[in-house]
Chains A and B, each alone.
Chain A
Amino acid sequence: MKPFTYVVPKSLAEASEAGKQPNTVLKGAGVDLIDRMKERLQTPERIVNLLPLKDELAGVAVEASGELKIGATTTIAQLEQHEALANPALAGLQAAAALTASPQIRNRATVAGNILQFTRCWYVRSEAFHCLHGGRGPTCLAMTGENRYHAVLGWMDCVRVHPSNLAPPLLALDAEYSTRLGDKVRRRKFTDLFPAEPRAQTAEHTLEAGEIVTAIHVPKPAAGTRTAYCESREKLTFDWATTACAVKVVLAGGKIAAASVVLGAVAPVPLPRPKAAALLLGEAPSATLFQKVAEAAYAGASPLAHNDYKLVVGKAIVREALEQATR
């Protein structure tokens, strides 16, 4: 790691102001950041530590409106273990938190950090490779290289995948996020956090310099809401997903009244599949229906040389998530 100045802000305004300075990074636990700094992929001059701002940024609370507010620096373990998540409507979010990395990482890593982390593409994350991402080289090396963990959907000139476990269930639950930039407080839909055109030159998220995610808001789920999250991977524990799927269904009288399907680990952004979800509306849960939805979720996929297995496995994961949510 290159030496840096460690800044301890006393307020969000101060943190945001410090974060706007050139060559400055805002840090939560730093799990992803320290890793990249050790690889010298990122060499900031200043790091602004957000962890001391616990009152402003940490903790989970159910608001008077029934909305769930998740502070940005809440750890993944705190989220998973919070009593509010013991609810069929939030089961997908709880499962995603429980499946993330290892106990050691979950005790440390923050919710916002999980969502804003850098891609895990092995070309992007190695100093030895000069790929298109971040303008380090002329081409995407994964596109023609070792790409078994890479994108099959929604990719443009860079085939990285978005690694967050928590983003798909939060998107399925129509979550929103609040940010602070200087004195400006904004609240937006979760989809706005990810780039519409995820090119190699585009950051993984749409935050401006110095903009701090302060909280994530999950609206009060409608009666009969159930969510589920499933992922495929090579190891039973402590691994990255090869494909993931979060689903939300609202069951009324044995029929599905509302639904969302969101894919993870198969595209450069967490990917809502509204056309697939629409097939569920007004229907009773069945294996045939789920098969149709799974096919639709992967419609238009363009697999690379080594990752067409993701279509087969990914569709099974969509079916599994739907079965769990309607069981």
Chain B
Amino acid sequence: MTVPSDRGFSRRSFLKGSAVAGIATTGLTAAAHAVPAAPESFGPGRHEIALLVNGKEQKVTVETRTTLLDALRDGLDLTGCKKVCDRGSCGGCTVLMNGEPVTGCLVLAMDAVGQSLTTVESLTEGDTPHALVQNFVKCDAMQCGFCTPGMVMSSLACLQKRGKPTEEQMRTDLSGNLCRCGTYGRVMEAIQRTAAGGTGGGK
């Protein structure tokens, strides 16, 4: 699958990119004689990488400048993570990398190669949604729902790390996720219910 080219990729930048690629290729050929061990390099054009997402290795075509968020949403159709601020300020794009929450908008897709990624989609595979997702519904822990996937991922990491988190620990772990509807109290209730139910993937 390919990241659609209409995302900030104009004819002008494509032509410029090709020109740079042409120069770079010439440069590399010339340099190959003088310096045999040039470091490996990619781009600036498109190329295919493999991302390990929700336990499955998936091929996706990216540019070097493609963020993990864009690769997941536009390349792999995993649209659970949301592009809100695109600057790491809101947590809407939170996914887990090696079990730790990160903001996908501030990670280059290239940097995510070889890392184990978990998205919110992994919690709804199969017939029964994850207990945390069920508790988000039961506690009505959302209004407009835009922050919810990121909120769920930070909550999941909180449960996995703490088992039965205290209110202070929940506040710390959710501090990177903003909700303009103010659902924080209910989100914490959903985490506590999941922890009490023992099905939250905790310790």
Residues of A within 8 A of B (CB): 1-10, 14-15, 18, 29-31, 34-35, 37-38, 45-49, 51, 77, 101-105, 107-108, 237-238
Contacts and interface: CB of A to CB of B under 8 A. Distances in A.
Contact of B111 (A10, A30, A38): A30
A31 B91 CA distance: 14
Main secondary structure of the interface of B (DSSP, over half): mixed
Contacts of A48: 39
A237 B63 CA distance: 34
A101 B176 contact: yes
B59 interface: no
B197 interface: no
Contacts of B111: 29-30, 49, 51
Among B94, B97, B103, B172, the one with the most A-chain Cβ atoms within 10 Å of its Cβ is B103
Given A35-B88, A38-B86, A49-B110, A105 B176 contact: yes
A34 B67 contact: yes
Bin chain B's interface residue count.
Answer: 35 or more
Contacts of A5: 20, 24, 41-44, 64
A31 B148 CA distance: 23
Contacts of A30: 106-108, 111
B5 interface: no
Nearest to B88: A105
Contact of B65 (A2, A29, A46, A237): A2
Given A3-B20, A107-B100, A108-B107, A8 B42 contact: yes
A35 B67 CA distance: 11
A34 B64 contact: no
B138 to A, nearest CB: 25
A31 B40 contact: no
Contact of A108 (B37, B106, B110): B106
A30 to B, nearest CB: 6
A8 B175 contact: no
Given A49-B110, A103-B172, A7 B41 contact: yes
B153 to A, nearest CB: 9
B88 to A, nearest CB: 6
A198 B59 CA distance: 47
A176 B63 CA distance: 38
A101 to B, nearest CB: 7
B13 interface: yes
A3 B94 CA distance: 25
Q: Which of A6, A8, A101, A102 has the most CB of B within 10 A?
A: A102
Given A47-B64, A102-B176, A238-B175, A9 B39 contact: yes
Nearest to B173: A103
Contacts of A2: 13, 65
A7 B44 contact: no
A31 B103 CA distance: 10
B119 interface: no
B176 A238 contact: yes
